[in-house]
Structure 1
Amino acid sequence: MRRCLFLTVSLVLCCLSVPAIAQEGRLASVLEDFHERYGFPGATAAISLPDGTIMSAATGLADIEAGRAMTPETPMLAASIGKSLVAATVLALEAEGLLSRDDLLSAHLGDRPWFDALPNPGAITINHLLHHTAGLPDHVHLPEFQQNWTQITTRDGEFDPERLVAFVAGREPLFEAGQAWVYSDTGYVLLGLVIEQVTGEAWHEAVAARLVNPLDLQDTFPSDRPDLPGLAVGYVDPDNPFGLPARTADAEGRLLWNPAVESAGGGFASTSADLARWGHLLFSGEAMESPYLDRLLDAVPVDAEAPGIFYGVGVAIHADTSRGPVFGHGGWIPAYVSSLRHYAAHGVTVAFQINTDTGVADDTSDLVPALEAALADLAISLIR
């Protein structure tokens, strides 16, 4: 995984001015440098300037064994960045009058046979789920979930997200609803079920109808099956807790597991360019016709020992950094790491994706924060 790989750098050059081509060359150089230093298989990155101009680059390989080059158009699993799409869809549904953030969860899912076994069943609101303040455990990190990964993620048949809810049913709440903060994918799975309940359509179809399609995010699509077109092959540490082989796809590039298991905790494949475009539109207030930024950025503290970090509606907020306020979300799923960050004081948005989680999942590498910082400095320098 760490061995030196043949480097391929791809740029989107068509119809760009000479200065824009030079700027993309600088972006490619940053990616090339990180590829040489960290030895990951491949990566893509994109920057959105304040006027919405997108530049993108790629380095390395999308499939080591086949020698397939990574390109800016190569999609990867965006993982939890999808929470920003799910949460924004909830805000859109609120504007449509189909729900309210103050609704009790019981008003929408109270008739489900497992509902009363949830932690804090009678007290959870939609707002609690959006902010990770419902007191729910995160099923992803429960040993029972990880030990049953192979059975849960079988490639055959439809995946029922209510299977995920079952992992937290019957457990004690981590705290009273609204009294603290703990990240919970399970809460967003429940939001997906709420979206389906109030719209009568699959949650990802509701997201597409309100955001993905109107905003022309052409390279963003549901990661709801193992056979995803053009997906970069992902690579994991052989000692990963899910028992996956180092290469997580077969020879044809079809995933060895079903990514539908993520449900509304993420649930999309995308490109860095599309993610940067999404972040630009979302945080500039252009993603929906109805005003929403005040609701999106209505945030709660994450930890008393980290006073500058908050969580809004599907968005992490670093309120006081050397580059000003930062809005965004990270994404991790076995074999894929993504980052989306908007630097509000400068109006620039940065996204990247990498097709391995080695060194990232176990926090033994500084790759993600180092690349975030390098790309942020580059993006800000481009507008000075």
Structure 2
Amino acid sequence: MAAAAAMAVAVMTTGALAPSPATAAARPDAVQQGLNALVRDGQPAALASVEDRAGRTRTYTAGVGDLATGAKVPRDGQVRIGSNTKTFTAVVVLQLVAEGKISLDAKVDDYLPDLVRGKGIDGRRITVRELLQHTSGIPEYGEHITDEEMRDRYFEPRDLLDIALKYEAEFEPGEKWSYSNTNYVLAGLIVQKVTGRPLAEEMDRRIMKRIGLRHTYFPAPGDKTIREPHPRGYARSSADATPVDYTEVDPSAGWAAGQLISTNSDLNRFFTALLDGRLLPPAQLAQMRTTVPVGDTGMHYGLGLMSRKLSCGGVYWGHGGDLVGYETRGGVTDDGRAVSVAVTSIPPDSAGMRGVEKAVDTAFCR
């Protein structure tokens, strides 16, 4: 993208991590360089929040927040966090497990009788655990919804389920792993059935208010906006295509699988609190961290939580997500480091995806 070369970059530092001007000039910050590279490769903007073991935080930006006006990227701006929402949904489910209201090994039909039926699909044979772990075999609905539909149409959760149930089961429950947003729509419906409350309210009460996520929320039905300062989000059909503004969309196609809006710093706070045991009792956190392989990628998936290897050794725990216009990646390590990186378009190819993952790895390993 020709405009990328002219895009500005910025960094805000808090705490004791700030280098002296002389040091910064002699040794450019590796995280900032990583974000700059994402912009050179075509991202309109990139944002990051990096927290070290002592809790000191650096917040970074690169690119421009609005391609039409050239406006700056708001520091720690809000973005649509897509499938990171799954971890929030899983936390609520596991809290209800701890309260004795849900059993991971109960069948979907125990909570949603007669709802899940299709070609080779039967809610009497699928467990709650298999939903959260993506081992249910239930088809994915997301690949049958276009960006244009996502921008303009309101979907009820049952609409999303109906789309998925038109297709045949991918495999027998528990047979293998395959990512499906439909699993988390069902998990959200189970939460609502058990609590008698909207999923958004349960998330807000049990997570956002509990650990002080002041910039994280579940958009109300029909709300296409992003409340606080934010970079605009774009869609590209290919690496050299003209970006199309998709900032304002109806996020209901994500629901329990991908509807939340947040910031990088709030995501770091969330994943840190989760791994520190402030959201789940030890038994449920251990279940969440019990994983299965994600094919031959080297990644592993638990109950709404993923582990990825770091180039400097060890792993980090998080999820990642994208919803048209935005992509987020990151997580936390067991020794207390936290990283979240967001970009303002979903990379159109695998090389772009690897670039975002490399920026996260660099931030952890710098």
Instruction: Give the TM-score band, short-chain normalised.
Output: 0.7 to 0.9
User: What is the CA-CA distance between 1:341 and the residue it aligns to?
Assistant: 2.5
Describe the shift of the 1:2–1:78 C-alpha distance in structure 2 as closer, same or farther (beyond 3 A). farther
Alignment of 1:233-312 (within 5 A): 233-238=232-237, 246-249=244-247, 255=248, 257-288=249-280, 291-303=283-295, 305-306=296-297, 308-312=298-302
Alignment of 1:94-133 (within 5 A): 94-112=97-115, 115-117=116-118, 119-133=121-135
Describe the shift of the 1:191–1:32 C-alpha distance in structure 2 as closer, same or farther (beyond 3 A). closer
Question: Could you tell me which residue of structure 2 aligns to residue 362 of structure 1?
Answer: 349
User: What is the CA-CA distance between 1:238 and the residue it aligns to?
Assistant: 4.6
User: What is the CA-CA distance between 1:292 and the residue it aligns to?
Assistant: 3.1
1:52-85 alpha-carbon deviations (Å, 9 max, x no partner): 4433222222212133211223101111111111
Q: Is 1:8–1:59's contact at 8 Å kept on the other side of the alignment?
A: yes
Describe the shift of the 1:150–1:58 C-alpha distance in structure 2 as closer, same or farther (beyond 3 A). closer
User: What is the CA-CA distance between 1:187 and the residue it aligns to?
Assistant: 0.6
Question: Could you tell me which residue of structure 2 aligns to residue 218 of structure 1?
Answer: 214
Question: Could you tell me which residue of structure 1 aligns to residue 184 of structure 2?
Answer: 188
Residue 178 (structure 1) aligned with residue 210 (structure 2): no
User: What is the CA-CA distance between 1:231 and the residue it aligns to?
Assistant: 3.5
User: What is the CA-CA distance between 1:23 and the residue it aligns to?
Assistant: 9.5
User: What is the CA-CA distance between 1:228 and the residue it aligns to?
Assistant: 1.9
Q: Is 1:259–1:267's contact at 8 Å kept on the other side of the alignment?
A: yes
Question: Could you tell me which residue of structure 2 aligns to residue 351 of structure 1?
Answer: 340
Q: Is 1:110–1:116's contact at 8 Å kept on the other side of the alignment?
A: no
Q: Is 1:280–1:349's contact at 8 Å kept on the other side of the alignment?
A: yes
1:20-62 alpha-carbon deviations (Å, 9 max, x no partner): 3339974763355325532421121111223444332222222
Question: Could you tell me which residue of structure 1 aligns to residue 80 of structure 2?
Answer: 77
Task: From 372, 381, 384, give the equivalent of 2:360.
Answer: 372
User: What is the CA-CA distance between 1:222 and the residue it aligns to?
Assistant: 1.3
Describe the shift of the 1:51–1:214 C-alpha distance in structure 2 as closer, same or farther (beyond 3 A). farther
Residue 316 (structure 1) aligned with residue 306 (structure 2): yes
1:284-327 alpha-carbon deviations (Å, 9 max, x no partner): 22334665321110112222x45x43210101123686421222
Q: Is 2:311–2:361's contact at 8 Å kept on the other side of the alignment?
A: no
Distance in 2 of aligned mates of 1:125 and 1:23: 55
**Letter of the 1:313 counterpart:** L
Distance in 2 of aligned mates of 1:194 and 1:159: 18
Q: TM-score when scaled to structure 2?
A: 0.87
Q: Secondary structure at the match of 1:79?
A: coil
Tell me, which stretches of 5 or more residues in structure 2 are unaligned?
none
Question: Could you tell me which residue of structure 2 aligns to residue 252 of structure 1?
Answer: none
Q: Secondary structure at the match of 1:339?
A: strand
Question: Could you tell me which residue of structure 2 aligns to residue 7 of structure 1?
Answer: 8
**Letter of the 2:125 counterpart:** A
Distance in 1 of aligned mates of 2:20 and 2:202: 36
Q: Is 2:291–2:301's contact at 8 Å kept on the other side of the alignment?
A: yes
CA RMSD of aligned residues (A): 2.7
Distance in 2 of aligned mates of 1:286 and 1:325: 21
Question: Could you tell me which residue of structure 1 aligns to residue 51 of structure 2?
Answer: 48
**Letter of the 2:363 counterpart:** L
Q: Secondary structure at the match of 2:225?
A: coil
Distance in 2 of aligned mates of 1:2 and 1:173: 45
User: Where do 4+ consecutive residues of structure 1 move more than 6 Å?
Assistant: none
Q: TM-score when scaled to structure 1?
A: 0.83
Residue 20 (structure 1) aligned with residue 17 (structure 2): yes
Alignment: residue pair count: 353
Identity of aligned residues (%): 24
Q: Secondary structure at the match of 1:292?
A: helix
Describe the shift of the 1:295–1:169 C-alpha distance in structure 2 as closer, same or farther (beyond 3 A). same
Tell me, which stretches of 5 or more residues in structure 1 are unaligned?
250-254, 379-384
Residue 337 (structure 1) aligned with residue 331 (structure 2): no
Question: Could you tell me which residue of structure 2 aligns to residue 382 of structure 1?
Answer: none
Task: From 200, 204, 207, give the equivalent of 1:204.
Answer: 200
User: What is the CA-CA distance between 1:170 and the residue it aligns to?
Assistant: 4.0
Q: Is 2:322–2:328's contact at 8 Å kept on the other side of the alignment?
A: yes
Describe the shift of the 1:83–1:272 C-alpha distance in structure 2 as closer, same or farther (beyond 3 A). same
Q: Is 1:48–1:277's contact at 8 Å kept on the other side of the alignment?
A: no
Distance in 2 of aligned mates of 1:92 and 1:363: 36
Describe the shift of the 1:217–1:2 C-alpha distance in structure 2 as closer, same or farther (beyond 3 A). farther
Question: Could you tell me which residue of structure 2 aligns to residue 381 of structure 1?
Answer: none
Question: Could you tell me which residue of structure 2 aligns to residue 164 of structure 1?
Answer: 160
Distance in 2 of aligned mates of 1:109 and 1:340: 33
User: What is the CA-CA distance between 1:215 and the residue it aligns to?
Assistant: 0.6
User: What is the CA-CA distance between 1:178 and the residue it aligns to?
Assistant: 0.6
Describe the shift of the 1:6–1:368 C-alpha distance in structure 2 as closer, same or farther (beyond 3 A). closer
